[in-house]
């Protein structure tokens, strides 16, 4: 069964990232059905921040090498650690069970939303994505589609390119977790705030073109399209001199 884990992290129900991930999901389950579809809204249902007991259990596990998920409970020392593992294990299993992980990610203060970072921190439990017998990544072959939305323009060559800690962070994180570069796809809709921030109004002509390009890329990726060259960023071209 083909499976999709759909994670949204925008606090706005009308956000561009939510509209685009909803489109991806509709195209996907029109093709594959809803049986393998899992939705997680980390704003409506926040992931608890990791606490001292999470750190204590994770540190203990790391000192024993790679521990199979089924054996983690044997290392739990108290009720606090038991609670942390009970909060963590289902989220880890959602990630491992997914063929595709779809992320809706608005840019918040040049990076990812706190709600998404809480989910990332919790699922990054020591050893969960490594086969304890072979040392191979358990995420090899898992596809990640990150749908990004930015109020302004942060693409290569733009004056604010160096301010982008959103896409580089996600690429580094999932790459380190074991997702192959060719399986990591980024769709980027930019200049989404030109109609409500006066200082960005002069870029309004780029809003619609960027969104249309992102929408097209989302449809293709949902249908199984894999761009040549692996995990290239899919974004509408913008004129750096005007951004």
pLDDT digits (tens, 9 = 90+) for 9-21: 999 988 999 999 9
Domains of the chain: 4-49+98-242 (3.40.50.360)
Residue 2: per-residue pLDDT: 82
pLDDT digits (tens, 9 = 90+) for 170-219: 999 999 999 999 999 999 999 999 999 999 999 998 999 999 999 999 99
Give percent of the chain above pLDDT 70: 92
Statement: residue 239 has pLDDT above 50: no
Residue 237: per-residue pLDDT: 37
CB atoms inside a 10 Å sphere around CB 211? 19
Statement: residue 164 has pLDDT above 90: yes
Residue 243: per-residue pLDDT: 27
Statement: residue 108 has pLDDT above 80: yes
Residue 228: per-residue pLDDT: 54
State the average pLDDT over residues 80-91.
98
Using pLDDT thresholds of 50, 70 and 90, give the confidence band for residue 234: low
Statement: residue 225 has pLDDT above 90: no
Give the tokens for residue 187: 């769709």
Using pLDDT thresholds of 50, 70 and 90, give the confidence band for residue 224: confident
Query: What b-and-e string marks burial along 163-193, b requiring 16 or more CB atoms within 10 Å of the CB?
Result: ebebbebbbebbeebbbbeebbbbbbbbbbb
What pTM did the predictor assign? 0.91
User: Taking Cα atoms as reference points, which of 104, 119, 97, 103 lies closest to residue 35?
Assistant: 97
12 is in an annotated binding site: no
Residue 13: per-residue pLDDT: 87
Least confident segment among 71-85, 185-199, 226-240: 226-240
10 is in an annotated binding site: yes
Statement: residue 121 has pLDDT above 70: yes
User: Taking Cα atoms as reference points, which of 6, 38, 176, 39 lies closest to residue 105?
Assistant: 6
Torsion, Cα 9 12 13 19, to 10 degrees, reads -70
16 is in an annotated binding site: yes
Residue 124: per-residue pLDDT: 98
Alpha-carbon distance of 27 to 22, in angstroms, equals 9
Alpha-carbon distance of 125 to 61, in angstroms, equals 9
Give the tokens for residue 95: 């990630």
């Amino acid at each position: 069964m083909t499976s999709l884990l759909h994670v949204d992290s925008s606090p706005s129900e009308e956000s561009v990232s939510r509209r685009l991930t909803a489109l991806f999901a509709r195209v996907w389950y029109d093709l594959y059905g809803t049986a393998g579809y899992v939705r997680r809204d980390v704003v409506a249902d926040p992931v608890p921040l990791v606490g001292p007991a999470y750190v204590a259990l994770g540190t203990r596990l790391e000192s024993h090498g790679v521990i199979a998920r089924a054996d983690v409970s044997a290392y739990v020392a108290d009720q606090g650690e038991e609670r942390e593992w009970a909060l963590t294990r289902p989220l880890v299993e959602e990630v491992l069970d997914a063929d595709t992980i779809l992320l809706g990610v608005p840019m918040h203060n040049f990076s990812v939303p706190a709600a998404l970072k809480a989910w990332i921190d919790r699922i990054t439990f020591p050893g969960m994505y490594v086969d304890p017998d072979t040392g191979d990544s358990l995420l090899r072959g898992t596809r990640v589609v990150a749908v990004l939305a930015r109020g302004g323009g942060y693409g290569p060559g733009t004056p604010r390119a160096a301010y982008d800690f959103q896409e580089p962070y996600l690429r580094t994180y999932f790459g380190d977790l074991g997702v192959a570069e060719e399986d990591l796809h980024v769709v980027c809709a930019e200049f989404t705030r030109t109609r409500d921030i006066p200082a960005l109004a002069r870029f309004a002509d780029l809003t619609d073109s960027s969104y249309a390009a992102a929408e097209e890329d989302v449809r293709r990726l949902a249908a199984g399209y894999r761009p040549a060259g692996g995990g290239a960023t899919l974004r509408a071209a913008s004129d750096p001199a005007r951004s």
